[in-house]
Structure 1
Amino acid sequence: MKVRFKVNYFTQWGQRLYIVGSVAKMGKSDVNKAIPMEALPNGNWEAEVDLKGSRVKQLEYRYVLKDEYSGNVVAEEHGEDRTLDINKEFDLIKVEDSWRSTGELSNVFTSSAFSRAIFGGKRTSTKQKKISLSKTQKEMVYRFEVMVPRIVEGYEVRVVGNIPALGNWDLAKGVKMSCEEGSLTWYASLKLKVQHAHLKYKFVIVNSKTGEVANYEQGEDRYLYVEAAGEDHVMQVVSGGYFRYEAAPWKGVGVALPVFSLRTHQGLGVGEFLDIKLLVDWAKHTGMRLVQILPVNDTIATHTWVDSYPYAAISVYALHPIYINLEQTGKLKSKKRMTELSKKKKELNALESVDYDAVMDFKMAYLQELWEEKKASFYKDAKAKEFLKEHEGWLKPYAVFSYQRELYGTPDFTQWKSMKKYTKTGVDKLFSDKETKDKINFYVFVQYHLHLQLLEAAEYARANQVVLKGDIPIGIYRHSADAWSEPRLYNMDGQAGAPPDDFAVNGQNWGFPTYNWEEMRKDGYQWWVSRMTHLSQYFDAFRIDHILGFFRIWEIPLDSVQGLLGQFRPAIPLHVDEFRNRGMHFDRDRLCKPYIREHFLGELFGENTAEVKDTFLNEYAPGCFEFKDKFDSQRKIQDYFAKKQPKSEDEQAKNDAIRDALYHLHNEVILIPALGYEDGMHYVPRVTADKSRTFRELGEFDRHIIWELYIDYFFHRQEGLWAEQAMEKLPAITNATDMLICGEDLGMVPACVPGVMDALNILSLEIQRMPKDIEKEFAHPNDYPYMSVGSPSTHDMSTVRGWWEENQEETQRFYNHMMGHWGGAPFFCDPWVAEEIFNMHLYSPSMWAIFPLQDIMAIDGELRRESAEDERINIPAIKHHYWKYRFHINLEDLMKENGFNDRLRDMITKAGRNTPF
């Protein structure tokens, strides 16, 4: 028998369409062995495969676009391989497909967020009757197919048309279609004769019990030309692409809260993975379909509250022990210790915020005792063995790294006395050594139970049709198991961060090494593929933290503390001739060295000016200063002040003020030598150079030339390069998983970013206080694109209530211009004000409106927290911020607030964000 494939795709000159499949004659799924297709008129392509002698019952295949000259793949279809059932009763199977474009909006609904969670569950489909072929004459059978991602249990799909076999447009007589478990494709097969040559049809979604139409396809009728039967039994597969929904685009609501912030009656002073189930219950009860959390990876480095920072993971795979539920992991034999656990729960649960040190000390001590009691049975546990075998690629290095960290008292592996450099042989030896085996496998034991508990929460969310959304940090911690085990993948001589914004005016320096993208490219970005695959166990959606880092990363010299002296990598730098060709004298010292002059030192240092000049500066010309060699970087200044031991708070405040002002002086430059260029001829502008004194005190002509080049550098010349970089890296992530992908694209956003994200079906993040249009002070939710997440706040900002009280002039403008009210704005964010802002986002076009739980509670004057200041999670400008916020209401009690919950559900439903599909 033969299979004839046909698809429509308009190529460019030098391109050709290919097909690759799971059988040997179609390349065994190897794209390099794909079969070339023949070009037909009007953009059609065709290929025929003879499957004679093949035993295949189901064929998997996909179309690819190649460059004819290089042989490289230019584009592939979206999604997983297509499947085709091979029925040997037919002599010929003809397949008419539609190319599945990567940027098609409907692709989003094939993600696991929708297919496994929101629209997961059983399909109410009718089993198809087997079609018997005539033994005396050849027949044509038509198989209608359509992808219907947005459908729930209790509804079914039918095909209706203008012939009796399709009900003559009578929906009640339409042909019921079938859908296999786990599939999005509905199908129905019919024998059709040539008298129905010009067939018109459509698909319709109906209520299975009542037959009531729920969604009738929009647009013109579909058309099929029915052929006369020839000398073969022929199956014609008519692929209808996606169902064309008549209803408005689907929109949902989500709630965001870090796991550590969850509060329950049974907690131990911190939220745990199993507490997510309670938040899922509340979300479902109020009509919300998504729960968003912050990163939950292990961050144990210093054994202090500094480890509360969730973006400095020591492993991109390992989960943080702080989120483990001790009783579910196992009860200790000692009744005394179990009584102590009950007492500790009451003590820590009564606290307003997380006591990170106390929680971790108790949990780790308990787990160590439990390990001693359970290790014998754990070694024999078949499921535990399977877990280790499946995850040993990351789990063994992580466990040994954790053991070595404890052994030497530091995660900085360069300071260890042994195993400074990772080797698989060394790791395996420690795992099997009698002296170290138990100590190392303790970490395997903890990870196994963390895995089970997070997986339980994830599966609970899916079963309740709620999406669990994770958060993927852009960087890795410098002293991590990842950096230790695979150093080739990272540039350890640089540090990543972000340029300044309204929330961190000196930029952000995360201290993370940057990625060695060239090395990652060699194996097709397998590190990312593995990471995404791992996370898909737990999450059906995720947020890529600082997605702009895939376009370019903000790299900061190791000797810098703040982020202002960073620069984008990769980037096309400025050449000195670009200044000279515009008629400007290029004075390297004036433009590139810190600009320090007598006339403004008093303004910076006040009564400490003389002391500062004497200690830190040299006067190389009258009124002109430079840093002494031992203070010629921010890092040296930081180290100097770190060694001081102030005798009072006033002295500490004085030291801090001098230190920060000295940092400011180091930032007083206009140009920075370009990284990767050692010729002294290539430079980049310091970001926000226009806000510096050194820029303001230049002559008007020089300022004009520099500003012209500044604008070109940051907003024009890099666009093509950055788009190319992202389109090489991001597909490795989008193709590695079927999770819904959301990008945190805030800050200094290149113009190429929206186009790339749209092409890859990545949702943008829209924050009212951080408009994408730099000409506007605020964004209006009415202007948000559909492919976006709209939110009033993030964890890096104050809440809506907190922001309202920070700047009365700004609040007044928002009140008048965005909310449309006359007169003076209330001093405090009253509940009705918070509710209006909440509704702005509910009624926005965004696919998702996701709210921090604090901003949701703000609409109720009785339930919300008394102090808005206590609701903030993080302050980015503080490098070592304590992440300790706890929600002030136990989730069990929140579920009982019927009046508030019913009101919330009613608001969400009226906004059209709680629809079946």
Structure 2
Amino acid sequence: MKLTFRIQYRTVWGEYLCVILNEEVIELSTKDGNEWQGTAECRLPEGDSLVTYRYGVFRDGVCIRKELGAISHSFCIGNAQQSHLILCDCWRDLPAESYRYSSAFNGIYVPQQPNKLSDGVGSCITFRALCPGLSVKKQALGLIGSCDALGNWEYCRPLRMMEVQPNVWHLTLDAASLRYTFEYKFVAINVETGAVEEWECGSNRIFHIQPLLRGETYLPMETEVFFNLPQRKIAGSAIPVFSLRSEGSFGVGDFGDLKHFITWAAETGQQAVQILPINDTTMTGTWTDSYPYSSISIYAFHPMFVDLRQLPVLNDWKLAKQMEEERIRLNALPQVDYEEVNRLKQAYLKAVFQQEKELILSSEGLRSFFHDNEEWLMPYAAFCYLRDRFGTPDFHQWGEYSVYDEEKVQALCASDSEAYPEIAFHYFVQYELHIQLLDACNYGRSRGVIVKGDIPIGISRTSVEAWVEPYYFNMNGQAGAPPDAFSTKGQNWGMPTYNWNVMEKDNYQWWRRRFCKMAEYFTAYRIDHILGFFRIWEIPVHSVHGLLGQFVPSLPMSKEEIQSFGLRFQPEFMTKPFINDYILNTMFGERSEEVRQTFVQHVHHDIYEMRPEFDTQRKVEAYFAGKTDEADLNLKEGLYSLISDVLFVVDRDNPEMYHPRIAVQNDFVYRQLTGQEQEAFNRLYNHYYYQRHNDFWYREAMKKLPVLTQSTSMLVCGEDLGMVPDCVPWVMDQLQILSLEIQRMPKNPEHEFGHVSEYPFRSVCTIGTHDMSTFRGWWEEDRSVTESFYYRELGHWGDLPEHAPGWLCEEVVRRHLYSPSMLCILTWQDWTAMDESLRNPDIEIERINVPANPKHYWRWRMHITLEELMKQDAFNEKIRSMIAESGR
């Protein structure tokens, strides 16, 4: 078929425009650098397939910019006579208000075939438009105009367009049936009656066209159609799945409980439920696996989330009775007993599998699931089998399986393999998790509730992905976060960092697959630590704390550049721990002599250095392994601080390049500098951390995030907390990613607290996250901060309440509901804080995570059941009315 493309786009010298259609690149030409056109003969798929394409800017054969947005330009193959398509376009980045195009704000899409004219029609016109949100209101897009073929403006005679892909509408007309020049408008029509219900705003559109030859189809420029729609603002709840509690759950929340929680949310006027990561984290079988941000698979879900109530009943009545007794015991506990819950649920699942094995393995549902997910499911099942067989998730200890070999894994998973029964068990568990989560999320869609997932930034270094695709990761580094108010030593997550150079070569296929899997279930997601897509804080493997890290990628400094700031650079003094008698005496007091004798050695005068056997934090950690005495723990932390007392960190790739150590102004080595040297260092430090990398990190993020965020139609939210460079808001605004706004973590350094009324519309506002104390907990942490918040921010007077009363919690909730933010998602604990008779009397137990503690036990559960929650009529009505009054 012959295709002619026309587009206006201003380029600079050396750039040219191309059309990217499937694998073909069609070069366009121009006479003025503004109006581009090109014609090509293209082989197109047979049948009624939709053909999509994008425009790109090229230089020297390389695409340097491509249209953004999940929605490509598109056309449909016409009737037998249509041999030449003339496509007029405009360059399209993200649609205005692109959130409206997300699956979060649209119903379930039902594919429609474009209307196709009979073969007797010689020339056609195809109108194309983008219009979101109509399916929710049971409407379709229509066309109406000034000639008889377009209904003569009669509201009952519009032409209905077809939704050929989500929010993309097409209509093909016989060009001979139209009277030129005509006027027209797009309208929203009732899908049942076909009558016009809404007219697009603005003046009538006017259609001018030259006569078409036989066989030509003209496609005018695609247009975005807007009706008089108010901004969508919704409220919701955040809660980990494991924290849910129902009368029938097995000591931990499950996907059946999630569906029940969605019911509560919908009936109280909420339209969003946000959860934490739900991937399988089973490594040791102990409570340390409760950390949900270190999974063994980016695809597999945690077996503990299976709702056992949805499985066949156990035929062994003795075992069934025993399991029921254990279920009641575990479900009555105030917190999750992670180890017992998983041990017993695993036993129950194995009993059901053994009982129903033949039926399960022959079911069409499992076969179809395996076919669609084989690429990740087979390695995952093999990983689980080998983890259990060797008693460790560290695949380096698996002998012949230590290096992933696809043929060996396929042999292990073959149906005639000895291992197959155990392998197939993992298929069964993942299938059950899939259908249960899909059911809960589809139920959410049917009730108008967004179910928002969470994508962790990292993976475990003992995971399926690290085993199968190690080339995507840097195993010699540890991902983490630089110091902040919540973790003064920084955070060390222990996860490998990403090899972005390798990922870029296949256009970030690893990430795109991951996002597409999430989109099967969720309509929105949170990117955990979105700063990691700009740069990650990488900590050397020999460190425990995060202070000796460096940003990757980054622009390190040479000796000459450091000295250009007025600081005389002395590598021996500035890149190694500075230790003298004063420091030892100050830090270790009565144990300073023990430190001199055991951990450090004298160099000259009163200067010391770490002994080789203790010159890294990991070596110190190994020395103190198993020692739990508080004095020993304090000594260990002191030695960690001693090792990180350096002014510069040597670059990981080039030993002749350096990074100023983060937050070093609090340490002894900084105090050894003269006033003039400190001033020079601070200039260098501020330049490095707050100015130097903005353009560099902007370009790094724009390589990755457009590809990833536009690989699905889910609504994208970014967790942009911490040490945020100036370029982060640039990217998030350009890609229309929702930011995270928290009042006690203001983004404006001039504000003590965030101003809720000034939050941007494209944001998620919340009182606190899973990494923070609840509002009631925060109220009691620092009375001086609470006092400032109460009097200055809230404007109250009188005595400061010792504990946060219900009325005060309600006021804070109301302020957030009335904020400009698109999403107001509050933790369940902060919702219930409004009701003094309902909320948990134990404030401390409600905290989910303590980031400063890498060994924190994630085990919080609701203190009442979902059944009891549904009966709280007064409380539920209060939430319903507060949301309605706020316009959400």
Report the TM-score range of the alignment, normalised by the length of the smaller protein.
over 0.9
Question: Of the candidates 798, 818, 830, which is equivalent to residue 855 of structure 1?
Answer: 830
- With structure 1 as the length reference, what TM-score do the two structures score? 0.90
- 1:575 touches 1:683 (CA, 8 Å); kept in 2? yes
- 1:19 touches 1:36 (CA, 8 Å); kept in 2? yes
Q: CA shift at 1:416, angstroms?
A: 3.0
- Which range is displaced more, 879-888 or 813-822? 813-822
Correspondence 1:655 to 2:632: yes
What is the rounded CA distance, in whole Å, between the counterparts of 1:585 and 1:184 in structure 2? 61
Correspondence 1:594 to 2:581: no
The aligned counterpart of 2:741 is 766
The aligned counterpart of 1:720 is 695
Partner AA of 1:843 in structure 2: Y
Correspondence 1:789 to 2:764: yes
Count of residue correspondences: 886
What is the rounded CA distance, in whole Å, between the counterparts of 1:176 and 1:561 in structure 2? 67
CA distance change for structure 1 residues 628 and 408 in 2, over 3 Å: closer, same or farther?
same
The aligned counterpart of 2:79 is 87
- Which range is displaced more, 460-469 or 234-243? 234-243
| 3-state SS of paired residue (1:297) | coil
Q: How do residues 46-195 of structure 1 correspond to structure 2 at under 5 angstroms?
A: 46-48=37-39, 57-72=48-63, 74-81=65-72, 82-88=74-80, 94-102=86-94, 104-115=95-106, 119-120=107-108, 143=127, 145-149=129-133, 151-159=135-143, 172=155, 175-180=158-163, 183-187=166-170
CA distance change for structure 1 residues 134 and 311 in 2, over 3 Å: closer, same or farther?
closer
Correspondence 1:687 to 2:662: yes
| 3-state SS of paired residue (1:105) | coil
The aligned counterpart of 1:640 is 623
The aligned counterpart of 2:8 is 8
- 2:124 touches 2:172 (CA, 8 Å); kept in 1? no
What is the rounded CA distance, in whole Å, between the counterparts of 1:558 and 1:880 in structure 2? 18
What is the rounded CA distance, in whole Å, between the counterparts of 1:133 and 1:400 in structure 2? 55
Alignment gaps of 5+ in structure 2: none
Partner AA of 2:580 in structure 1: R
The aligned counterpart of 1:756 is 731
- 1:734 touches 1:741 (CA, 8 Å); kept in 2? yes
Q: CA shift at 1:339, angstroms?
A: 1.1
Question: Of the candidates 422, 425, 430, which is equivalent to residue 407 of structure 2?
Answer: 425
- 1:414 touches 1:420 (CA, 8 Å); kept in 2? yes
- With structure 2 as the length reference, what TM-score do the two structures score? 0.93
1:372-427 Cα deviation digits (max 9, x unpaired): 32333334334323333332222222222212222222111222344222211221
Partner AA of 1:343 in structure 2: E
Q: CA shift at 1:141, angstroms?
A: 5.4
What is the rounded CA distance, in whole Å, between the counterparts of 1:902 and 1:841 in structure 2? 18
Q: CA shift at 1:490, angstroms?
A: 1.4
CA-based RMSD of the aligned residues comes to 3.1
Partner AA of 2:603 in structure 1: Y
What is the rounded CA distance, in whole Å, between the counterparts of 2:178 and 2:78 in structure 1? 27
- 1:147 touches 1:240 (CA, 8 Å); kept in 2? no
What is the rounded CA distance, in whole Å, between the counterparts of 2:521 and 2:177 in structure 1? 52
| 3-state SS of paired residue (2:418) | helix
Partner AA of 1:69 in structure 2: D
| 3-state SS of paired residue (1:834) | helix
Q: CA shift at 1:511, angstroms?
A: 0.6
- 2:271 touches 2:448 (CA, 8 Å); kept in 1? yes
Q: CA shift at 1:769, angstroms?
A: 1.7
What is the rounded CA distance, in whole Å, between the counterparts of 2:482 and 2:80 in structure 1? 62
Q: CA shift at 1:754, angstroms?
A: 1.6
1:664-704 Cα deviation digits (max 9, x unpaired): 222221111111013xx311111111222321332111101
Q: CA shift at 1:65, angstroms?
A: 1.5
- 2:131 touches 2:141 (CA, 8 Å); kept in 1? no
1:206-245 Cα deviation digits (max 9, x unpaired): 6678999976544x42532334656547654444522224
CA distance change for structure 1 residues 144 and 454 in 2, over 3 Å: closer, same or farther?
closer
Identity of aligned residues (%): 40
CA distance change for structure 1 residues 879 and 164 in 2, over 3 Å: closer, same or farther?
same
CA distance change for structure 1 residues 230 and 744 in 2, over 3 Å: closer, same or farther?
closer
- 1:122 touches 1:153 (CA, 8 Å); kept in 2? no
Q: CA shift at 1:188, angstroms?
A: 5.3
What is the rounded CA distance, in whole Å, between the counterparts of 1:167 and 1:44 in structure 2? 35
The aligned counterpart of 2:652 is 675
What is the rounded CA distance, in whole Å, between the counterparts of 2:290 and 2:386 in structure 1? 21
Question: Of the candidates 449, 453, 467, which is equivalent to residue 450 of structure 2?
Answer: 467
- 1:18 touches 1:34 (CA, 8 Å); kept in 2? yes
Question: Of the candidates 808, 822, 825, which is equivalent to residue 833 of structure 1?
Answer: 808
| 3-state SS of paired residue (1:789) | strand
- 2:479 touches 2:536 (CA, 8 Å); kept in 1? yes
| 3-state SS of paired residue (2:359) | helix
| 3-state SS of paired residue (1:817) | helix
1:303-349 Cα deviation digits (max 9, x unpaired): 11000000111111111111112242333220011112221221111
CA distance change for structure 1 residues 339 and 591 in 2, over 3 Å: closer, same or farther?
same
- 1:283 touches 1:291 (CA, 8 Å); kept in 2? yes
Q: How do residues 332-343 of structure 1 correspond to structure 2 at under 5 angstroms?
A: 332-343=314-325
- 2:68 touches 2:706 (CA, 8 Å); kept in 1? no
- 2:18 touches 2:28 (CA, 8 Å); kept in 1? yes
What is the rounded CA distance, in whole Å, between the counterparts of 2:234 and 2:621 in structure 1? 47
What is the rounded CA distance, in whole Å, between the counterparts of 1:54 and 1:870 in structure 2? 60
What is the rounded CA distance, in whole Å, between the counterparts of 2:80 and 2:118 in structure 1? 13
- 2:483 touches 2:547 (CA, 8 Å); kept in 1? yes
- 2:79 touches 2:119 (CA, 8 Å); kept in 1? no
Alignment gaps of 5+ in structure 1: 22-28, 647-651
- 1:494 touches 1:514 (CA, 8 Å); kept in 2? yes
What is the rounded CA distance, in whole Å, between the counterparts of 1:607 and 1:386 in structure 2? 68
What is the rounded CA distance, in whole Å, between the counterparts of 2:499 and 2:312 in structure 1? 42
- Which range is displaced more, 502-511 or 411-420? 411-420
Q: CA shift at 1:160, angstroms?
A: 5.2
1:779-834 Cα deviation digits (max 9, x unpaired): 11222222221222111011111111111111222223332334554332222222
| 3-state SS of paired residue (1:435) | coil
What is the rounded CA distance, in whole Å, between the counterparts of 1:53 and 1:524 in structure 2? 24
Question: Of the candidates 381, 388, 410, which is equivalent to residue 370 of structure 2?
Answer: 388
The aligned counterpart of 1:26 is none
What is the rounded CA distance, in whole Å, between the counterparts of 2:539 and 2:127 in structure 1? 59
Partner AA of 1:653 in structure 2: E
What is the rounded CA distance, in whole Å, between the counterparts of 1:755 and 1:571 in structure 2? 18
Q: How do residues 257-268 of structure 1 correspond to structure 2 at under 5 angstroms?
A: 257-268=239-250
| 3-state SS of paired residue (2:401) | coil
1:431-452 Cα deviation digits (max 9, x unpaired): 2364322233222222222222
The aligned counterpart of 1:25 is none
What is the rounded CA distance, in whole Å, between the counterparts of 1:878 and 1:129 in structure 2? 60
Correspondence 1:567 to 2:547: no
Partner AA of 1:257 in structure 2: I
Partner AA of 1:424 in structure 2: E
The aligned counterpart of 1:649 is none
- 1:573 touches 1:682 (CA, 8 Å); kept in 2? yes
- 1:177 touches 1:187 (CA, 8 Å); kept in 2? no
The aligned counterpart of 2:499 is 516
The aligned counterpart of 2:608 is 625
The aligned counterpart of 2:872 is 897
What is the rounded CA distance, in whole Å, between the counterparts of 2:120 and 2:466 in structure 1? 67
Question: Of the candidates 690, 697, 703, which is equivalent to residue 672 of structure 2?
Answer: 697
Q: CA shift at 1:167, angstroms?
A: 7.2
1:55-110 Cα deviation digits (max 9, x unpaired): 654551323223142242521352244132413456765443343213x3333322
What is the rounded CA distance, in whole Å, between the counterparts of 1:695 and 1:461 in structure 2? 55
What is the rounded CA distance, in whole Å, between the counterparts of 1:233 and 1:494 in structure 2? 61
Q: CA shift at 1:500, angstroms?
A: 0.9
- 1:92 touches 1:232 (CA, 8 Å); kept in 2? no
Correspondence 1:888 to 2:855: no
What is the rounded CA distance, in whole Å, between the counterparts of 1:359 and 1:573 in structure 2? 48
